[in-house]
Amino acid sequence: MIRKITEDQSKGKEIDVLCPECNRSTRHVVRQSFYDHWQSDDHPEYYVQGGTDYQIVECLGCRTVTFRTDGWFSEDAEGTIQLFPKRSNNTLVIKDFYEVPRKLRRIHKEIINSFNDDLLILCAAGLRSIIEGICDEKGIKDGPVELIDNGRIKKITRKTNLQGKISGLAEKNILTQSNAEMLHEHRFLGNEALHELSQPSVKELKLAIEIVEHMLENIYELPSKAKELRGFKGKRKNL
């Protein structure tokens, strides 16, 4: 096998890459590259060859850096392009939460990672566990659940299951009523044992993730931002 390495062969080249921050395909420039070319040498008349260009590319919009590999092989008409961190049109970015308790932050990170890796049942399990975790944190043990019979509300009882706790979050105004209803609609957040669930859809999970992130933002991040803002105002008065 003959191998040849060329540094920065594609440096400065502009290409379109799906940017995880801009959430769409944007113009990127190759900042550095490492091209690895190989060719078989066991048959002088017939040989196969291929190569991979390993690139560090930067989004010209938001400056986010991506590692990109662009490979080809003489026996395969289609090349292979890979991006790290992995992404697709459905990929979610892990948001930085600074004030959220560590335990919840870790679950949140796993929710996003499992979503991005198509581990949808595990992602649903993570959502259930983060909602339980928020309730624990906030001392919510139950909430009002309507018992419906023939489309009519039979009675309202307090329940300690996840359904009850979601209502409990709305009761304490931690979650809006409409968001609580949206979460209730998703069976994967309901009462069923996890192993009995059919796979939740990407769309459902994405919506539930949005609602949970909104909750984290409201409960933990906004109060500290408001405090900071009050600090600024206080300082201005003292000038």
Q: Which residues bind Zn ion (CB under 5 A)?
A: 19, 21-22, 26, 59, 61-62, 64
Spatial contact of 93 and 111, defined as CB atoms under 8 Å apart: no
CB of 165 to Zn ion, least distance (A): 38
The nearer residue to Zn ion, 19 or 211, going by C-beta atoms, is 19
CB of 62 to Zn ion, least distance (A): 3
CB of 100 to Zn ion, least distance (A): 25
CB neighbour class for 197 (10 Å; exposed up to 12, middle 13-18, buried from 19) = middle
Spatial contact of 138 and 172, defined as CB atoms under 8 Å apart: yes
- Residue 84, both tokens: 């790290």
The nearer residue to Zn ion, 57 or 127, going by C-beta atoms, is 57
The nearer residue to Zn ion, 89 or 198, going by C-beta atoms, is 89
* H helix runs in the chain, sequence order: 102-116, 120-138, 162-171, 177-185, 202-216, 222-238
d(CA 204, CA 63): 31
d(CA 10, CA 200): 42
The nearer residue to Zn ion, 64 or 218, going by C-beta atoms, is 64
CB of 69 to Zn ion, least distance (A): 19
CB of 28 to Zn ion, least distance (A): 8
Sign, Cα dihedral of 119, 87, 180, 169: positive
The nearer residue to Zn ion, 21 or 228, going by C-beta atoms, is 21
